[in-house]
């Protein structure tokens, strides 16, 4: 957070979010990611006094927002969405300065996609703790990657069900006629019905949505 102490930002366009801003922020959020009105309203309440910021252009149109909230270990920054890197840079400066002013923490958590790192690291499949993590975040010199940005998706096509069932049987040491195996197969077969939609969303997230998402809501808020 100290990296942003004293950093100037456009205070004419970036202001603390007020209850009256929520309608526009929720619509902007829905157009950038997904409709989640109740979550945004809850996070606004969690943010407390001037804990969230909104960027409006000269026409009053929302072009970005950044929310903060207290955390068990340290504060959390996110969700954090902006149209451009320049807008995002100003929003993170405003949020960091507010957290520093509030006191009690020198650092904060942010879940940020790897697309915003100069070096995206090396991803090893099925490894939770990656050895070569992303580095060189475009908004922060001091940001250090604690763990990789993980999305809990499993894309299953119809021809992959048998392999997954065999893996499940081997891992759980179960026979093919076991009730748990039957239930697992039924679940996997149902999941294939959404294969095309899931694949389309994953591609959309990677190629389009992540460019504006500088921070997710984090593990507690979904």
Of the listed ranges 4-18, 145-159, 176-190, the one predicted with least confidence:
145-159
Q: How confident is the model at residue 177 (pLDDT cuts 50, 70, 90)?
A: very high
Residue 56 sits in a domain whose CATH number is 3.40.630.30
**Domain membership of residue 187 as a residue range:** 158-202
Which of 189 and 194 is assigned the larger pLDDT?
189
Nearest to 81 by CA among 33, 135, 147, 16: 33
Shared domain for 137 and 189, answered yes or no, is no
Shared domain for 110 and 196, answered yes or no, is no
207 lies in some domain:
no
Number of domains in the chain: 2
pLDDT at residue 63, rounded to an integer: 99
Shared domain for 117 and 136, answered yes or no, is yes
pLDDT at 178 over 80: yes
Handedness of CA 104, 107, 111, 112 (dihedral sign): positive
Q: Of all residues in the chain, what percent carry a pLDDT higher than 70?
A: 95
Q: pLDDT tens, 68-98? A: 999 888 999 999 999 999 999 999 999 999 9
Shared domain for 25 and 135, answered yes or no, is yes
Shared domain for 113 and 56, answered yes or no, is yes
Q: Which of 150, 166, 194 is the last residue in one of the domains?
A: 150
Mean pLDDT calculated for residue range 140-163:
82
Contact assessment for residue 18 and residue 66, using Cβ atoms and an 8 Å cutoff: no
Q: pLDDT tens, 30-59? A: 999 989 999 999 999 999 888 999 999 999
Q: How confident is the model at residue 151 (pLDDT cuts 50, 70, 90)?
A: low
């Amino acid at each position: 957070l100290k990296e942003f102490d004293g950093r100037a930002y456009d205070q004419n366009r970036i202001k603390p979010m007020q209850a009256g801003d929520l309608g526009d922020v929720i619509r902007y959020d829905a157009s950038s990611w997904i409709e989640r009105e109740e979550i945004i309203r809850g996070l606004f309440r969690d943010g407390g006094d001037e804990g969230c910021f909104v960027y409006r252009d000269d026409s009053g149109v929302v072009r970005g927002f950044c929310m903060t909230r207290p955390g068990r270990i340290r504060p959390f920054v996110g969700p954090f969405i902006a149209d451009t890197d320049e807008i995002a840079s100003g929003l993170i400066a405003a949020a960091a300065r507010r957290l520093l002013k509030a006191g009690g923490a020198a650092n904060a958590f942010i879940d940020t996609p790897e697309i915003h790192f100069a070096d995206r690291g090396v991803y090893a499949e099925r490894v939770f703790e990656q050895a070569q993590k992303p580095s060189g975040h475009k908004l922060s010199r001091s940001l250090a990657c604690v763990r990789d940005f993980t999305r809990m998706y499993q894309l299953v096509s119809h021809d992959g069900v048998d392999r997954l069932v065999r893996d499940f049987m081997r891992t759980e040491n179960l026979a093919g006629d076991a009730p748990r195996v039957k239930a697992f197969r039924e679940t996997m077969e149902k999941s294939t019905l959404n294969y095309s939609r899931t694949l389309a969303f994953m591609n959309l997230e990677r190629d389009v949505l992540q460019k504006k998402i500088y921070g997710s809501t984090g593990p507690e808020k979904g």
